Amino acid sequence: MSYKKISLRIGEMSCVNCSNAITKAVKKMDGVQEANVSFAASEGIFIYDETKTSQKDIEAKIEKIGYKILKQEDNIDDTKTVLLKVLLSIVLTIFLHFAHHLNLPHSLINIAVFIAASIVQFGCGGNFYIHSFKSLKNRTFDMNVLVALGTSAAYFYSAFVLILPNLFPENLRFIYFDSAAMIITFVLLGRYLEARAKVKAVDFMKELLSLTPKKATLFKNKKIKEVAVEELSIGDIIEIKSGQNIALDGVIVNGEGEIDASTINGESMLKFATINDKVIGGTILKFGYLHVRVEKLYQDTILFEIIKLLKEAGNKKMPIARLADKIASIFVPAVIAISLITFIVWIVIGDMQMAILSSISVLIISCPCALGLATPIAIVAGIGRGAKEGIFIKNPEILEIISKIKFAVFDKTGTLTKGDIKVSKSTIEDREMLSIFASLEAKSEHPISHAIRNFAKKAKAVENYDIQNINIKSGFGLTGTYKNKTAAIGTANLMNTLNIDMSEEVKQQYEEGLKYGKTTILASFDNKITGVFYLEDEIKKEAKNLIDYLKAKNIEPIMLTGDKKAPSYFLAKRIGIENIMSEVLPQEKFEKIKSLQKDGLVLFTGDGINDSLSIKQADIGIAMNSGSDIAKESGDIIIMNNELTNVKKSIELSNATLRVIKQNLFWAFIYNIIGIPLASGVLYFADITLTPAIAGGAMSISSITVVLNSLRLRVKKIR
């Protein structure tokens, strides 16, 4: 088997039931393994066996059931077209309601009423018939079928009464043109608001797409030239001036400046960047001037990956959403059956007028739009809101389970700490000694070497001492000679191999460092230890608050790290973690996650290649953007600004999104549970009935309520 994954932009979807109809139709095709169509994103993602079907076959199927395959450049915002139909429908509906009050000949009014009703029915509401016909042809049922049946019953009954009145008894000569028109008006108004909501929900994606400039200034052979971004190659040097967007991911080779990366990582503070610093395409150089060497083409940039992740996430469905879809798929046939039963019961009772009105009202009020909209709009709004905070939710399914977490497991380095080793203190104060050791460390690229050099630089030491016979001992340190005297810097084991003993004072200093969980490096010159360097990886300032938050939520925080026991336990104690496992290998982390899952759901947060197994295995995997590509690929959520605060925000946003979805589903179900019996006339004897027009209005209000409730997520404050 040869499976292929494709993404198609789909037009002319008027509501969420259209996306469900496409999904159902394509899934029936031989060779299609998966189909997910998003009304909110106007896009579908399909996985199929190339030996059994093709992209052309899938496109043909979609077009056959009444929808359009769009090109990348085609506009999907059809709100203006829908608005024009709504406005025309409103004007004609008002005319139909008051036509018989006009001082005009009765025959002329009848002609005008018939024409106006026909324009609304087949002009403004024409798409209901088109989609209903193609839906029924493919043996699928959607809301278009209900609207077409309900309004057609009212329209054609009225047309026969108007044209052939003698076929009907005096007491049954009723005209329902205004009711049919009002239903179409309300449904179209609901669809317009849905379309507007869809546009708002994907605004952030459009904002991201607009961040990458179409042109870039190429700096080559000391000349500048404006070129299309697509023409740039890896290694090209591009020029960026103040106020310009950085075109592609790269490294600064000249200049410095302050960069606004808020749209990418949610961080509002400007970040200073200079030579050798990496920059992200789509960020803005607020102040300064840069030459950037291109490291990634557009389709490989972080911005492109973010857009891709958002699109894929918007197309995925939570289990609760799939349940709603299943209910909606059997809902339409059930409603048609209820409508027929209602009609028959009232005929038996002997009230033809109630039979017509009630059966039509049942068809209209039970339109499953609210049920279908309950989850997708909320998911897209929630994902978009998270993206603005620098939280990219790749897998919406985790939204449903995040509130049930029992364990929150963290890697240490780069997750709970900044992953940036620095010298916090040294007992060496002599500037010449510091210069010797800095010059020796200048020959190594190890992170500890960089930390010692940076410390020496701040102490005004220099790195221009001529160190000879440099020998790097992996895992131990390095040695060299200066003026025929041996200089060494490294672990206690290195000093042992060089037969250099620690004095009582140095031993005390060394043990003090270990006691407080610091990595302690010894430095010697001329076979005598001259002092120690204390190194530490700074704890992220928000780590303690996050651990306190988790405990308040009855979630047990756990640390799993490959680091040594002393620094791991010291750090854990400072931030409040009691359950610690140190010096563990990647496979051991993975096994520990599996073991914890026997007792409850596990959230794991990490950043390294060694964390990727655990991130993938955990029920919810969170990856830091500063980490490896493998870790990010494995995660359900990516934290773009690497701040632990966003782990808390992820939980809060997920809970808020699930809350909104449950509220939406509650109102959708309650609305139908109450509305259908009322529409069928069960309370007729209590003088409580619903006309088709009122039913149409109520149906639209239910959809609008769900949409507005979902859009609250876009402005929700996440703390």
Digit-coded pLDDT (tens) for 181-237: 877 887 787 667 666 655 655 555 555 566 667 888 888 877 888 888 888 889 999
Domain match, 534 and 555 both? no
Domain match, 615 and 522 both? no
Assigned token pair, 51: 């030996």
Closest CA to 392 of 41, 36, 636: 636
Residue-level pLDDT at 266: 46
Longest Cα pair distance anywhere in the chain, in angstroms? 123
Q: How far apart are CA 474 and CA 198, in angstroms?
A: 57
Range with the poorest average pLDDT among 101-110, 267-276, 338-347: 267-276
Q: How far is CA 266 from each of CA 418, 517, 545, 640, 696, rounded to the nearest angstrom?
A: 18, 33, 19, 8, 42
The CATH number of the domain holding residue 244 is 2.70.150.10
Average pLDDT over residues 449-463: 88
pTM across the whole model: 0.61
CB 443 within 8 A of CB 470: yes
- Name the one residue in this structure whose structure tokens are 């609760």: 320
Q: Is 446 exposed, middle or buried (0-12, 13-18, 19+ CB in 10 A)?
A: middle
Domain match, 493 and 545 both? no
Residue 189 lies in a domain: no
- Domain end point (choices 588, 611, 635): 635
User: Is residue 136 over pLDDT 80?
Assistant: no
Q: What's the DSSP call for residue 540?
A: P
Q: Over pLDDT 90: what percentage of the chain?
A: 11
Residue-level pLDDT at 678: 85
- Domain end point (choices 635, 656, 684): 635
Domain match, 490 and 533 both? yes
Residue-level pLDDT at 310: 53
Chain segment 52-102, per-residue pLDDT in tens: 888 899 988 888 877 888 876 555 556 778 888 889 999 998 898 788 777
Residue 473 lies in a domain: yes
Residue 160 lies in a domain: no
Closest CA to 529 of 499, 549, 502: 502
Domain match, 408 and 545 both? yes
- How many structural domains is the chain composed of? 3
Q: How far apart are CA 181 and CA 125, in angstroms?
A: 9
Domain match, 549 and 587 both? yes
Assigned token pair, 130: 């088109």
Tell me the catalytic residues.
411
As a 3-state breakdown, the chain gives helix, strand, coil percent values, each rounded to 5, of: 55, 20, 25
Domain match, 296 and 241 both? yes
Residue 534 lies in a domain: yes
Residue numbers of the domain that contains 518: 427-538
Band (368; pLDDT cuts 50, 70, 90): low
Residue 338 lies in a domain: no
Domain match, 490 and 622 both? no
Domain match, 562 and 475 both? no
Range with the poorest average pLDDT among 42-56, 221-235, 398-412, 699-713: 699-713
User: Is residue 165 over pLDDT 50?
Assistant: yes
Domain match, 619 and 595 both? yes
Q: How far apart are CA 262 and CA 271, in angstroms?
A: 10
The CATH number of the domain holding residue 439 is 3.40.1110.10
Residue 218 lies in a domain: yes
Residue 76 lies in a domain: no
Chain segment 234-280, per-residue pLDDT in tens: 999 998 888 888 888 899 998 888 887 765 654 545 778 888 888 88
Domain match, 475 and 522 both? yes
- Domain end point (choices 635, 657, 689): 635
Find all residues with CB under 8 Å of 134, minimum gap 6, and list them. 64, 65, 66
**Bridge partners (DSSP) listed for residue 639:** 391, 624
Domain match, 471 and 566 both? no
Three-state DSSP at 18 gives helix
Residue 666 lies in a domain: no
The CATH number of the domain holding residue 400 is 3.40.50.1000
CB 67 within 8 A of CB 42: no
CB 690 within 8 A of CB 180: no
**Bridge partners (DSSP) listed for residue 292:** 238, 252
Q: How far apart are CA 526 and CA 363, in angstroms?
A: 95
**Bridge partners (DSSP) listed for residue 575:** none
Element (H, E) at 534: strand 529-539
Element (H, E) at 353: helix 352-365
- Name the one residue in this structure whose structure tokens are 């209602």: 342
Assigned token pair, 567: 């620094």
User: Is residue 547 over pLDDT 90?
Assistant: yes
Q: Say if strands 68-70 and 3-11 run parallel, antiparallel, or are unpaired.
A: antiparallel
